[in-house]
Amino acid sequence: MRKRYFWSIFLVLYVGFVFGNSLTPAMESSAQSMSVLQLVTGAMKAVGLGNVGVTEHFIRKAAHFSEYTLLGILLAQCLAQYGLLAVTRWQLHGLAGFLIPFVDETLQLFTEGRSGQISDVWLDCAGVLFGTVLFLAVGRWHRRRKGKKNVEKKL
């Protein structure tokens, strides 16, 4: 029961963080992206890659995808705690995985200097899907690994 509350609260706080990022005015958001861009280009130069064309646009899109990859993982983990039928769980997951990016981009329509982009909704949904697949793959790997250990103990 406590796990259920923990993951639910964590998910709600994370969605608040995502929405908070969308409510950041364009100038401030751009400054944050430029700071990350400087870090990335500095790291690339340090390992001898130089500037391979990483732009602020790329950083922004990578941030979208990363945010929503984590959201996909958190959604899957949270819904797994409720003991729902698989069909119900995945329907809720799919609905939330679309509605959260949709609301996120809609919020940007009301934020100074920002605009909501349908392409970002699709990118965000792809991030949710990737996070979900990652969650399932790691879970499967973990179960197989655990199963092998149990077999070895019996031998």
Q: Taking a C-beta distance cutoff of 8 angstroms, is the pair 64, 124 a contact?
A: yes
Closest CA to 34 of 53, 62, 57: 57
Question: Helix 2-22 to helix 56-80 angle, to the nearest 10 degrees?
Answer: 160
Instruction: Tell me how many domains the chain contains.
Output: 1
pLDDT tens track, the chain, 155 positions: 788 899 999 999 999 999 999 998 888 888 888 888 888 888 888 888 776 778 888 888 999 999 999 999 999 999 999 888 989 999 999 999 999 999 999 999 998 888 889 999 999 999 999 999 999 999 999 888 887 666 555 54
Specify the pLDDT at position 119. Answer: 93
Q: What range does the domain containing 63 cover? A: 1-153
Residue type, 130: F
| pTM tops 0.75 | yes
Which ranges of 23-117 would DSSP assign to H, the alpha helix?
Answer: 26-46, 56-80, 86-108
Q: What is the number of residues in the chain?
A: 155
